[in-house]
Chains A and B, each alone.
Chain A
Amino acid sequence: MLMGLYNYWAVVVLMMIGFYIVIAHGNLIKKIVGLSIFQTSVFIFYISMAKVDGGTAPILADGIEQYSNPLPHVLILTAIVVGIATTAVGLALAVRIKEAYGSIEEEEIQKKDNLDC
């Protein structure tokens, strides 16, 4: 049970690490790193569930009976692209925030905003 599902344990651990970083850290770059780890765990989850024991890549060849399911693998290519786009937009925003506020720490930004109001 524990060893047989070790992929999924890795998924859960990564997911929690990523999620914790997003919530607990005030640094905008660290938040984005956390978000990436969180998303990556989902990629591993999709890839693990499509793997069939003893199955190979889905290319038709003689002597091969079992294939892994290629669909989730393809889906996750799309999700990876989405993840990269999200990271890029997030980092671009962090750069603009640094220019506008002179800081990438959540607390300092919030303090400056409160002064504006």
Chain B
Amino acid sequence: MLAHLPILQVIVPLLAAPLCLLLNRSRLAWLFTLLASALAFLISGLLTQQVMTTGTIVYELGGWDAPWGIEYRIDQLNALLLLIISGVSTIVLLAAQTSITKEIPGNRHTLFYVLYLLSLAGMLGIVATADAFNVFVFLEISSLSAYALIALGKDRRALWASYQYLIMGTIGATFILIGIGLMYQMTGTLNMHDLSQRLPEVDNTRTVFAAFSFVIVGLCLKLALFPLHLWLPNAYAYAPSIVTAFFAATATKVSIYLLVRFTFSIFGLSFSFTALPLQLLFVVLGLAGVFVASMAAIYQTNIKHLFAYSSIAQVGYMIIGFSISTVSGLTATLLHMFNHALMKGALFVALGAVMYRIGSVKLEDFNGLGRKMPYTMAAIVIGGLSLIGVPLTVGFISKWYLIIALIEKGWWPVVVLVLLGSLLAVIYVWRLVEAAYFKPAATPNETVAEAPVLFLIPIWILVSANIYFGIDTRLSFQVAQAASQSLFGVSP
């Protein structure tokens, strides 16, 4: 049983999805989904433990040897990502049933859970597999269910957002498919490990350059790097709250994982960062993303829009860490992926609670909410502080390591710009705090009660994690550093 953990990680949610359809009772489907997701979380915990003690786990699907069969390979990086995805998914699901009763018509509840499980299975699959074509298949499983999930939003703009996401997402995925095809043409293999060994022999050909460019552009579309981020704000703003919380915490991280996997493991560090001016390109686009998205966030009146733009800015920070291309830079990126999942998970579930009580998340709806929903608003404030990077929160930890990595590299102007970017976060978080605590309650808000317990539990689990991992960084830092070192081939 223990030997089959890598495949169970993907199979459990994938098989749970059709079973969920058979249940056909909203509450039952919820409990079942929660169980499947919790099981996936347990498996990823066991995998992480196993990887940290014994090293990389290689699993051959159906017993076929690697170049012929598909291989699953779990190293520290995969384990970290699996842990983030299944963990956030499980915690967010606690609030799902309460939240969707107000946001999705009753006859679609089971379908919501089916799609949710498929999306979860897709993301876990992308991370677990070591086969390049398998990545594309799982990418499409998670994306197609994501389009449908976003279209479940109450507002008709959800449909339009979902359609735009579908067009952009499919172009991105097809670009990745072209890149994988070109790589196969040159090497005759789809196994990531084989690819990494055979690509250096042919790395001066135009085909490999083309493959690299297609994969990178496709991934940048998927991970919403400025200026390819246009699909994200509306998709996150009009999707049902639970969907937003789940995707904001996981979806872009999976694409960043793929970017790291393709550039570091498959194409190799020396090719990725010397063949093309990738370092300069990414640091400029990352910084542009931080500033443009943070500025846009300041002017938003819909709070889900505001935090969606802030997500694009946070992706910018991760890309800056990535572009440093040193062990500490990559560690900062991986750490921020983990930490950002905690922040955005907490914030968007809390927004879901506000949506549940008030039915909208416009800035003026927050007037005086600090007294009416004290626990929810306190969570949003802590989440916001974490976004800014205030000490004792996880946001501080990731900014700290990012800045140390930048200083080691000697990129002083970037250090200054990163700090300035954080100040912009102060402005947009402050607008929310001001409305919630310093403005009188709007008349319809006077009778609003605190969010239900099933909202408060996941919110405060995530908020406590924000504080806990902001003080005790041993676990998150250790895994991130080990993953980063193994990518650079440094033995710890």
Interface residues of A (CB under 8 A from B): 19, 22, 28, 31, 35, 38-39, 42, 45-46, 49, 72, 75, 78-79, 82, 85-86, 89-90, 93-94, 96-97, 100-101, 109, 113, 116
A93-B165 Cα distance, complex, nearest whole Å: 11
- A90 with B181: CB separation less than 8 A: no
- B157 with A116: CB separation less than 8 A: yes
Task: Decide yes or no: A89 and B144 within 8 Å by CB, A42-B177, A75-B133, A96-B151 being known contacts.
Answer: yes
Measured CB to CB, the closest approach of chain A to B160, in angstroms, equals 6
B156 at the interface (CB under 8 A from A): yes
- A90 with B166: CB separation less than 8 A: yes
Interface residues of B (CB under 8 A from A): 133, 136-137, 140, 144, 147-148, 151, 156-157, 159-160, 162-163, 166-167, 170-171, 174, 177-178, 181, 184-185
Task: Decide yes or no: A72 and B184 within 8 Å by CB, A85-B140, A100-B156, A101-B156 being known contacts.
Answer: yes
A85-B148 Cα distance, complex, nearest whole Å: 11
17 chain-A/chain-B pairs, Cβ below 8 angstroms: A22-B171, A28-B163, A38-B171, A38-B174, A45-B178, A49-B184, A75-B133, A78-B137, A79-B136, A79-B177, A82-B137, A82-B144, A85-B144, A86-B144, A86-B170, A90-B167, A93-B162
- A94 with B163: CB separation less than 8 A: yes
A13-B358 Cα distance, complex, nearest whole Å: 52
For A93, the chain B residues whose CB sits under 8 A away are: 147, 151, 159, 162-163, 166
What are the nearest 5 A-B pairs in CB distance?
A100-B156, A82-B140, A93-B163, A49-B185, A97-B159
- A39 with B170: CB separation less than 8 A: yes
Specify the chain A residue showing the minimal Cβ separation from B177: A42
Specify the chain A residue showing the minimal Cβ separation from B156: A100
For B184, the chain A residues whose CB sits under 8 A away are: 49, 72
Measured CB to CB, the closest approach of chain A to B411, in angstroms, equals 36
Measured CB to CB, the closest approach of chain B to A83, in angstroms, equals 9
A38-B147 Cα distance, complex, nearest whole Å: 19
Measured CB to CB, the closest approach of chain B to A116, in angstroms, equals 7
Specify the chain A residue showing the minimal Cβ separation from B155: A116
For A46, the chain B residues whose CB sits under 8 A away are: 181
Task: Decide yes or no: A72 and B181 within 8 Å by CB, A42-B174, A93-B159 being known contacts.
Answer: yes
- A22 with B160: CB separation less than 8 A: no
For B160, the chain A residues whose CB sits under 8 A away are: 97, 101, 109, 113
For B140, the chain A residues whose CB sits under 8 A away are: 82, 85-86
- Other than the known A93-B166, A97-B160, A109-B160, what 19 A-B pairs have Cβ atoms closer than 8 Å? A22-B167, A38-B174, A42-B178, A42-B181, A49-B181, A49-B185, A75-B133, A78-B133, A82-B136, A86-B140, A86-B166, A90-B167, A93-B159, A96-B151, A97-B159, A97-B163, A100-B156, A113-B160, A116-B157
Measured CB to CB, the closest approach of chain B to A79, in angstroms, equals 6
Task: Decide yes or no: A89 and B177 within 8 Å by CB, A94-B163, A97-B163, A101-B156 being known contacts.
Answer: no
For B185, the chain A residues whose CB sits under 8 A away are: 49
Measured CB to CB, the closest approach of chain B to A1, in angstroms, equals 14
Measured CB to CB, the closest approach of chain A to B136, in angstroms, equals 8
Chain B CB within 10 A, most for which of A72, A78, A85, A93: A93
Specify the chain A residue showing the minimal Cβ separation from B150: A93
Measured CB to CB, the closest approach of chain A to B114, in angstroms, equals 14
Measured CB to CB, the closest approach of chain B to A35, in angstroms, equals 6
A94-B167 Cα distance, complex, nearest whole Å: 12
Measured CB to CB, the closest approach of chain A to B264, in angstroms, equals 25
Measured CB to CB, the closest approach of chain A to B184, in angstroms, equals 7
A19-B168 Cα distance, complex, nearest whole Å: 11
A109-B160 Cα distance, complex, nearest whole Å: 8
A27-B473 Cα distance, complex, nearest whole Å: 51
For A42, the chain B residues whose CB sits under 8 A away are: 174, 177-178, 181
A90-B136 Cα distance, complex, nearest whole Å: 19
- B166 with A89: CB separation less than 8 A: yes
Measured CB to CB, the closest approach of chain A to B303, in angstroms, equals 15
A28-B151 Cα distance, complex, nearest whole Å: 16
For A100, the chain B residues whose CB sits under 8 A away are: 156, 159
For A28, the chain B residues whose CB sits under 8 A away are: 163
Task: Decide yes or no: A45 and B174 within 8 Å by CB, A85-B140, A94-B163, A116-B157 being known contacts.
Answer: no
- B157 with A113: CB separation less than 8 A: yes
- B147 with A31: CB separation less than 8 A: no
Measured CB to CB, the closest approach of chain B to A62, in angstroms, equals 25
For A35, the chain B residues whose CB sits under 8 A away are: 167, 170-171
Measured CB to CB, the closest approach of chain B to A51, in angstroms, equals 12
For A45, the chain B residues whose CB sits under 8 A away are: 178, 181
For A113, the chain B residues whose CB sits under 8 A away are: 157, 160
A93-B156 Cα distance, complex, nearest whole Å: 11
Specify the chain A residue showing the minimal Cβ separation from B163: A93
For A116, the chain B residues whose CB sits under 8 A away are: 157
Measured CB to CB, the closest approach of chain B to A112, in angstroms, equals 9
- A89 with B178: CB separation less than 8 A: no
Specify the chain B residue showing the minimal Cβ separation from A34: B167
Task: Decide yes or no: A89 and B147 within 8 Å by CB, A39-B174, A42-B181 being known contacts.
Answer: yes
For A72, the chain B residues whose CB sits under 8 A away are: 181, 184
For B163, the chain A residues whose CB sits under 8 A away are: 28, 90, 93-94, 97
Measured CB to CB, the closest approach of chain B to A40, in angstroms, equals 10
A22-B359 Cα distance, complex, nearest whole Å: 36
Measured CB to CB, the closest approach of chain A to B163, in angstroms, equals 5
A94-B159 Cα distance, complex, nearest whole Å: 8
